[in-house]
Structure 1
Amino acid sequence: MNLNQYPQAIAQASTFVNDLESQINSLRQQIYEIEGRVDSQIAGGEFKNDLQRKAARFDLLQARSEYQDAIADLDQLKDAKAKAITKLELLRNGYSVAKIEARAAIVAQLAGLESREIVGL
């Protein structure tokens, strides 16, 4: 990749990470809403203690396919985000290396010019 292509690639990778984060937040909100409805349902129940309420909450959440699907989707998005962040960091590091290599090439050229001047060419 050429040095001038890195900023665009980094911007695209960063935008992709941000889009994944937005999707993750949206899924989390859906999960919280489902949990809230289940908690409301449990609050109206006749449970004797906190342990029974927790068990009922667990059972009700496990029975909801939309909840299970949202949890699975959330896990996939988290994995995708982790991979996207790795790609973004790789691009950033590649850009840093490319800049260093370009500077080294310039220094080598300048050193070559100076040695020619010393010799008198």
Structure 2
Amino acid sequence: MQLNEYPKAIADLQTEILHIDQQLRSARESVAFCLNNIDRAIAFDQILKNDSQRKAKRTELMESDADYIKASNELKRLEDLRGELDIDMQLLRNTFSLLKLERREAIASMELQAAA
């Protein structure tokens, strides 16, 4: 990749990260919605007498609720993807900075040779 192509590549990756962030917000809302439904079901279950029974029932419902499992897995996938994109972004920025420094060094060397 040429030095002048890096700003566009960085902007494209930032746009991709923005889209992932939007999907992450949606996935978090889905997980929260599922958890609210589970908590609502527990709140109205008169068979449950104490907090330990409620916690056990909550865990049981979380493990068996297909919507919650799907939303939770999607959230984890998006979080992993976001992490990978962050690594790619940092590598791209570092490479760009390194190339700029190398270019400056080459210019300084040429100026030094011209002055001598």
**TM-score with structure 2 setting the length:** 0.94
CA distance in 2, matches of 1:89, 1:10: 10
- Superposition map of 1:98-113 within 5 A: 98-113=99-114
Counterpart residue number, 1:76: 77
Q: Distance in 2 between matches of 1:50 and 1:27?
A: 28
Alignment length (residue pairs): 115
Match of 1:16 in 2: 16
- What letter is aligned with 1:68? I
Give per-residue Cα distances to partners, 1:65-84, cap 9 Å, x unaligned: 11111111111111111111
Task: Pick which of 28-37 and 53-62 moved more.
Answer: 53-62
CA RMSD of aligned residues (A): 0.9
Structure 1 residue 15: deviation in Å?
A: 1.4
Runs of 4+ in 1 over 3 A off after TM superposition: none
Deviation at 1:114, TM superposition (A): 0.7
Give the AA of the match of 2:30: Q
Structure possessing the higher radius of gyration over alpha carbons: 1
- Residue in 2 that maps onto 1:63: 64
C-alpha deviation, 1:111, in angstroms = 1.0
Q: Structure 1: give runs of 5+ residues left out of the alignment.
A: 116-121
Deviations 1:45-79 (A, max 9, x none): 11110010111111112111111111111111111
Counterpart for residue 7 of structure 2: 7
The farther-off stretch of 11-20 and 100-109 is 11-20
Q: Which runs of 5+ in 2 are unaligned?
A: none
Distance (whole Å) between structure 2 residues aligned to residue 32 and residue 80 of structure 1: 20
SS at structure 1 position matched to 2:80 = helix
TM-score normalized with structure 1 length: 0.90
SS of the residue corresponding to residue 77 of structure 1 reads helix
Amino acid at match of 1:70: A
Distance in 1 of aligned mates of 2:24 and 2:86: 14
- Residue 97 of structure 2 corresponds to which residue in structure 1? 96
Percent identity over the alignment is 34
Which residue of the partner structure matches residue 34 of structure 2?
Answer: 34
